[in-house]
Copies of this chain bind each other. A is one copy, B any other.
């Protein structure tokens, strides 16, 4: 077995047998590490041979390799001097699960959200041509990403930008959910036709329309075939842009993964017992839909992770998975709502950024009753910068007509969902993946906060389970030092509960949120109190991108902890 260490193996000097052994080693390294650290499993297992072939044929880092989304880059990382540190995958301070320019010169472009690889490759190739340099630029993109509109926008300008790139479609028939849509069916059709096409005169594919020479379909898990194919293409790339269509097996080499690609797309490291907010979404929405025929569930390729599988099975005619098309999903919701439906659009916080304009223009400027169910809000953990959900309170709170709710626990989330059906305006509910506690509390009125604890020395205004939990603990501890803190559940970040804010007599105010400081709850409270003379301290994330690590580690690293809050209060409550 080949020893993978911090060196870069000399693939070009290896025999076919040695390369085959290398693939085995890579595969077991990936399985071992992901089982321990969590991460993306099936997609990486499928990519081993294709990645080895790319490294055999091309000359990185002189040539440039861009992974769309980027979760399939593990083999690439193992081959580029990071094998010895690979055990730190997704750990705080360790190797990222996604390409990172900061980490290696072999990672030329950071990805994380779908569909950017072709546009980025065109930009890089255009720069090469302007500078008169000579290297190859390769984008590897899955069939799931292929649904995204960015891909079409990039295709549309391939001829115009006129800089040659190689696009490799890594077709494994899966997004996180099975890939949907006509482009997917078309790829399937091309695969089915492939053998006949080889024999007779090729007919034009859709890709030729965009000025790309199409070549496919080949077995991406056949190392010999991939090396041969890529070698031939490398020479052709000087002359024209090429699209290579390969099929890989998601989970390749591990039967359980091959048979369960959806469950093994992302693996979580072991964790405490929790209730997932997504399960509450799924159960509650399914029950609501029984009585309310207006309820429609919309997702962008992540139905199970968002807890909606049951709803989709039960109400297929009121379920829409549009593929990885967050903007389109938002506009479809707006259209549904103009006709009296009540769409619930479930989406991860970070991916909602893709639909920002459509939330502003289509949903909110028309004041339509669409409910955004925003999962993985706040720090999401081990996937790092491109997957943290620390911006949503900021980019949503600036939008007129939008109400923003942040449940303090899964019970309150359930009550918010039930209340939303009769709300009649745009609503965003943001929540983390896991719920650990419930805090009691009763009636829910839109725009009204609740006081969870009384105390005259300081008022802690917090939102979301993670912060409420820390706030209550900090208040208990401060009480031991004789400082009495009120704790307010700011369950609607917008609108602010002005009556509650006006009623707080404490001069010392602390805000706490699982969000960036700029534009979040704290900023809004600062603004509200700007003429009051109160002393306000905001606990929130600083103005930085937050890398990977566990949720608990990261929250603490960025200065939010019972200790820190307590310390501040004790020092300042009587200032």
- Could you tell me which A residues sit within 8 Å of B by CB distance? 101, 108-110, 112-113, 116, 119-131, 147-161, 180-183, 185-186, 206, 209-211, 293, 296, 317-318, 320-323, 325, 327-328, 331-341, 343, 353-354, 356-358, 360-362, 364-366, 385-386, 391, 394-395, 397-401, 516-519, 522-524, 526-527, 529-531, 533, 535-538, 543-545
Contacts and interface: CB of A to CB of B under 8 A. Distances in A.
A357 B353 contact: yes
Given A529-B530, A538-B530, A156 B131 contact: no
A353 B356 contact: yes
Contacts of A391: 360, 398-399
B519 A397 contact: yes
Contact of A335 (B120, B360, B398, B536): B120
Given A152-B152, A322-B153, A398-B391, A130 B360 contact: no
A151 B399 CA distance: 25
17 contacts: A110-B366, A113-B357, A113-B361, A116-B361, A119-B335, A120-B332, A122-B335, A123-B339, A127-B340, A149-B151, A155-B182, A161-B322, A353-B361, A360-B391, A391-B398, A394-B519, A395-B398
Nearest to A320: B161
A366 B112 CA distance: 12
Interface of A is mostly: helix
A159 B186 CA distance: 12
Identical chains bound together, number: 2
B530 A526 contact: yes
A148 B327 CA distance: 11
Given A116-B361, A130-B318, A158-B182, 12 more contacts: A120-B334, A125-B335, A148-B149, A149-B152, A149-B327, A150-B328, A154-B328, A327-B354, A353-B361, A364-B545, A400-B544, A519-B519
A420 to B, nearest CB: 18
B149 A339 contact: no
Given A182-B210, A320-B126, A523 B531 contact: no
A524 B398 CA distance: 13
Contacts of A124: 335-336, 338-339
Nearest to A318: B130
Nearest to A531: B535
Nearest to A123: B335
A122 B364 CA distance: 19
Of A358, A366, A398, most buried by chain B (CB within 10 Å of CB) is: A398
Contacts of A538: 527, 530
A153 B152 CA distance: 9
Of A126, A185, A331, most buried by chain B (CB within 10 Å of CB) is: A331
Given A148-B149, A161-B320, A209-B182, A341 B127 contact: yes
A537 B532 CA distance: 11
